[in-house]
Amino acid sequence: MSIRYKITIAYDGTDYAGWQVQSRKHTVQAEIERVIEQLAGKHIRVHHSGRTDAGVHAKGQVAHFDLKEPVDVRRFQKSLNALLKPDVRVMKLEKAAPDFHARFKAQGKEYRYFIWNGPAVPPNLRLYRYHERRKLDITAMKRAAALLVGKHDFAAFTANPHREIEGTVRSVRKITVTRTREGDITLAVEGDGFLYKMVRSIAGFLLRVGTGELKPEDAERLLKAKTRTHEVPTAKAHGLFLWQVFYD
């Protein structure tokens, strides 16, 4: 009987074509499976809580895998991190219940989108901040964000609404807009699940509200229209982090 393990992973997505294994492409999932195979002696499939796109980062991605034999979790975690490339780290490894599933047992997720609002991005943050030189109206962005909270049809905020097999209705529990320090703005979005590029679309919309190109009230109009238009841009990938995944 197999033993199931849950891992929490952080990664810098800059040099990866996203999470999911793809032919002839460098992905986070492939990197993790590569090192587990070295330790286990055979290929082990790693199951994720959800995909992240090319260039997107993670602080708290969650996945699981099964091994035939038990391992010392501290020693195995240390070995994984010794073999992984330095832009991927297993932050936590723990034994899980046999029926645990990183994706299907998830109760929600939190993403954070980071913006640098100033004339120049500090070099150490250039890979992790979207740069907006124009002054952003934080109050307007907060008003717009509040209108997106709740259960809505988010077809106007997905890059490809026709690919969503389970429909485009989602529940957003919370969106906060915080200026954490001079120049640095964080958008935190928490919900039960997200559509394709939904968080980046919300970020793109809130940025346009912040610059005055759109009004906060346009959130209601766009939700009601249920149609994706050029009014909602997809913000660049490098500002986005999968922050945490929630379980019972």
Q: Is 53 a catalytic residue?
A: yes
* Residue owning tokens 């890059």: 159
Give exposure, 32-48, as e/b (b: 16+ Cβ within 10 Å).
bbebbeeebeeebebbb
Q: Which of 12, 15, 53, 153 is catalytic?
A: 53
- Please answer whether residues 49 and 64 qualify as being in contact, where contact means their C-beta atoms are separated by less than 8 angstroms: no
Strand partners, 155: none
182: helix, coil or strand?
coil
DSSP, res 136? P
Residue whose pair of structure tokens reads 């800059």 in the numeric block: 14
Residues designated catalytic: 53
